[in-house]
Structure 1
Amino acid sequence: MIDAIAFKYRTGTPWRDLPEHFGSWKDAHNRLRKRAADGTWAKVFTALLAQADAEGGLDWVVAVDSTIVRAHQHAAGSLKKGRRPTMPSDAPAVD
């Protein structure tokens, strides 16, 4: 079951395309779903991380994504000629 789940997520294939030697794809999917719902996977991963950390097998690296997303000029709030900025209805109008 663990090999089937690892294969599925490593390759990104749909569940139905799981090779036959892993057994029924429905069984693997249902077991994964049930174990996730009852917290089994969280306990397993926590225990594995604690064991690897205690043995010095983990090298912690933190990565920060600094991707910049730019909006098109029409979506960025730029003013067009002859248009006034909109005001909230409760704000006083400025003339």
Structure 2
Amino acid sequence: MMTSTTSDIAGFVVVRNLGVVDALTVNAVGAAGNVLGGLQALTGGKLSAYYELDENTRKEAFNKMCEVASGKGANAVVGVRIQTQGFAQGVLEVLCYGTAVLVQPL
């Protein structure tokens, strides 16, 4: 699946717009992750528990969006956007959305 944050993909032309696709994912670190994150915050440096939460949740939402687009018959998603929101310590929501399209080489 080709993806782009712009409205087109270089070397390709959009031949069919298949509509907006999105995916929402909410994940949390466990209690141990919150304790580890708190200790790392006190000592400085990379907060590995929260970094992994952010990275994994973002990838999960992106991959789900691509699956939805593929299910509509798309071979690309343009105008991709990702929004994140934290609800509480160690809880993260990620929304990934874009426009599913069918493209072909120029």
Structure number having the greater strand percentage: 2
TM category, shorter = under 0.3
Structure number having the greater helix percentage: 1
Structure with larger RCO (C-alpha < 8 A, sep 6+)? 2
The TM-score normalised by the length of structure 2 is: 0.23
